[in-house]
Amino acid sequence: MVVQLRSALMMFFILTILTGVAYPLAVTAIAQLLFPHQANGSLISKDGKPIGSTLIGQPFDDPKYFWGRPSATAPFPYNAAASSGSNLGPTNPALIETVKMRVAALKAADPGNDTPVPVDLVTASGSGLDPHISPASAEYQVRRVARARGREEAFVRTLVSQHTEGRQLGMLGERRVNVLALNLALDATDPPR
């Protein structure tokens, strides 16, 4: 019995060191060496201070900024500690009402825009943290943003084009626009005050 207990404790100790210490340290070291930006949260800095991540959306509601996908996280939008979707199906009355309110808010922010509202501007992603919108969603907002900033639509459209990312490896996913990166680029083009 003592021999078995000693063997079990020794295996417990060895596996704890291997899987609880050595393996995490090795993976962390490899990630820091090969992918330091991603391993540290893909942070975006402005004036030396982190202001966001390319991986997590941020709420924007000022008309001079592009707005991202709605977030279903609680107790506040884009809460990375509470990543989740709304879990409401497409025929759920609560989702239908929420989408109607979001469409109305977009129409109120840009009353002359009669183009159909892209679906990703009124529905949350599965994680509730999506930092991207589709190029169609960015195009839908160009007029409002240009008017609010006193810029030509062509200028804003060019910035959108410059910040449109292609499919990963040329075939995975869809083309997308990182909202935070685009809004920072817009701010950088504003004349100094």
Model pLDDT for residues 131-186, shown as the tens digit of each residue: 999 999 999 999 999 999 999 999 999 999 999 999 988 899 999 999 999 999 99
Mean of pLDDT values over 5-18: 95
Model pLDDT for residues 56-109, shown as the tens digit of each residue: 999 999 999 999 999 988 888 888 888 887 888 889 999 999 999 999 999 999
Q: Is residue 48 pLDDT above 90, yes or no? A: no
The reply to whether the predicted model has a pTM over 0.85 is no
Query: In the structure encoding, which two tokens stand for residue 156, read together?
Result: 């804003």
Q: Is residue 193 pLDDT above 80, yes or no? A: no
Return the domain boundaries, the chain. 1-40, 42-189
Predicted pLDDT of residue 149: 94
